[in-house]
Structures are given as structure tokens and as C-alpha cells.
């Protein structure tokens, strides 16, 4: 019986004024025993705090570029569409979730949000990491470090993944360590040094888990960690 409520951050369709998320995120959480709860882009900090207190874990979903102003850099010509409301919301709920000791899984943009929220920076544009093949195709290899959360889930030092990002982690936040890298040195996964489960992955496991149990294990480990409770609780 599912017993862990997993908050999944939404993205916004500005034209239609919708908050939405691709169903693959929802199915990945539901199939591995979690209760998915979509979180719209909230602006009230008090409201965000209350939502964070009512979930057992946080899934930061993929999406558009993060505004470089948030990591103290100038906006370059490479920056595509940004959503300042989403940036502010996700960075704040990430900080609150870390304070509360909630398990967190960040996917693609979500991995970058984890880094920026903790004081890291991003490369605004990189080459060769936006594949032309379908979303469920694996196009490049990453090397996973032993003794990490990702290695515990995948069980291999090398694995192929999909890739849909033109930004990447540049300066790693002090609270985090690298879990995996691509063969060109791009950081592909990070994890928090102190928490039992705060993991960011640069690839899109939500499109791979149905055909590869290694990627399903990422969600299983995450949901299981959420069901077991927070690392600690800091009153906020």
C-alpha cells in the first residue's frame, strides 16, 4: 500500500496559463509505490512552507533554463526561455526541503536547481548534450562513482543514458559531491554529503524506467527513502 506522498514540481504553459507535468513523472512515482502530488508554481513563501511540511519527499522536474542572475552571472545570448516564478519557487522549496530533511530527487533542470539553491553555478551553454533521437533512447555513456546513491540504484559503473540539456553544473555547491560524469567531463549526477537521499541526475530517467529496471531502481530507492521518513526535522 503506498504510504509516501511525493510532491512533484510543475512547469507552466504561459500561453494557456496551465500548470502541468509530463505523466512519466507521475507514473514512475506511482509504479514504485509513492503517492504523486503535483505542486503548482506557488509564490507565497508561507504556502510553500506548508506544502513542504505535508509531503514526504520532493521530485524536482525538468524544464527550461534557470536565470543566471540567481547564481550571480550575466545573462548571455545562450539563455533560452526562463520562468522567474518557477525559479524562485523551486529554489525556495528546495531549501525548505533540505532544512526539513526530506528526500529529494532532481531530474535534469531539477539537478541544476539543487546545485544553484545550495550556492553552485552553471555553464550557460554546452555542446553535444541535446540528442535528436527519441526521449527513451540512450545516446551517451556516463561513469558512476562507487559508494554513491546512484551506484546503489544502478549497480554499474558505466551506463548509457538519454540527454536533453544545454546547461550543466559548473561550480559544484559545497554541500554536494559528484556521483557521475560523462566522458567529456560534464557532471551527470550529484548528491548531498549529509542527507540520506538528496540526488540530482542530469538525464531523464522518467523516460527510461519502463524498459530498464536499473532506472526504475532510482525511483524505487527514492520512494523507499521517502516512506522511511526525513533525515531530521529542523523547525522553520
Mode of pairing for the β-strands spanning 168-169 and 34-39: unpaired
Rg of the chain over all Cα atoms, to the nearest angstrom: 16
pLDDT score at 91: 98
- In this predicted structure, the answer to whether residue 21 has a pLDDT above a threshold of 70 is yes
Helix/strand/coil (H/E/C) assignment for every residue in the chain: CCCEEEEEECEEECCCCEEECCHHHHHHHHHCCEEEEEECCCCCHHHHHHHHHHCCEEEECCCCECCHHHHCCCCCCCCCCECHHHHHHHHHHHHHHHHHCCCEEEECHHHHHHHHHCCCCEECCCCCCECCCCCCCCCEEEEECCCCHHHHHHCCCEEEECCECCCEECCCCCCEEEEEEECCCCEEEEEECCCCCEEEECCCHHHCCCCCHHHHHHHHHHHHHHHCCCCCCCCC
- In this predicted structure, the answer to whether residue 218 has a pLDDT above a threshold of 80 is yes
What's the mean per-residue pLDDT of the chain? 92
Active site positions, annotated: 108, 204, 206
173-199 confidence digits (pLDDT tens): 999 999 999 988 999 999 999 999 999
26-68 confidence digits (pLDDT tens): 999 999 999 999 999 999 999 999 999 999 999 999 998 999 9
Q: Identify which of 37, 32, 35 has the alpha carbon closest to the alpha carbon of residue 21.
A: 37
> How far apart, in Å, are the Cα atoms of 190 and each of 16, 108, 187, 214?
34, 11, 8, 17
> From the centroid of its chain, how far is CA 79?
20
**From CA 234, how far away is CA 218, in angstroms rounded?**
26
Q: How confident is the model at residue 76 (pLDDT cuts 50, 70, 90)?
A: confident
Q: What are phi and psi of 52, to 5 degrees?
A: -60, -35
Amino acid at each position: 500500500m503506498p504510504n509516501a506522498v511525493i510532491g512533484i514540481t510543475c512547469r507552466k504553459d504561459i500561453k494557456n496559463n496551465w500548470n502541468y507535468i509530463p505523466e512519466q513523472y507521475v507514473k514512475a512515482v506511482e509504479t514504485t509505490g509513492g503517492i504523486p502530488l503535483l505542486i503548482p508554481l506557488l509564490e507565497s513563501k508561507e504556502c510553500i512552507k506548508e506544502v513542504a511540511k505535508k509531503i514526504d519527499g520532493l521530485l524536482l522536474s525538468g524544464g527550461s533554463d534557470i536565470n543566471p542572475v540567481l547564481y550571480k552571472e550575466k545573462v548571455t545570448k545562450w539563455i533560452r526561455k526562463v520562468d522567474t516564478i518557477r525559479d524562485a519557487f523551486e529554489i525556495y522549496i528546495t531549501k525548505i526541503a533540505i532544512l526539513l530533511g526530506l528526500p529529494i530527487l532532481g531530474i535534469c533542470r531539477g539537478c541544476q536547481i539543487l546545485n544553484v539553491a545550495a550556492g553552485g553555478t552553471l555553464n550557460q551553454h554546452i555542446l553535444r548534450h541535446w540528442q535528436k533521437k527519441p526521449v527513451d533512447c540512450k545516446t551517451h555513456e556516463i561513469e558512476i562513482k562507487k559508494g554513491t546513491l546512484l551506484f546503489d540504484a544502478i549497480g554499474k559503473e558505466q551506463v548509457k543514458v538519454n540527454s536533453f540539456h544545454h546547461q550543466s553544473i559548473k561550480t559544484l555547491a559545497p554541500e554536494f559531491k559528484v556521483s557521475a560524469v560523462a566522458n567529456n567531463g560534464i557532471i551527470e549526477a550529484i548528491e548531498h554529503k549529509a542527507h540520506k537521499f538528496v540526488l540530482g541526475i542530469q538525464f531523464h530517467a522518467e523516460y527510461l524506467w519502463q524498459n530498464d529496471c536499473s532506472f526504475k531502481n532510482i525511483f524505487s530507492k527514492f520512494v523507499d527513502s521517502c516512506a522511511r521518513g526525513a533525515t531530521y526535522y529542523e523547525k522553520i
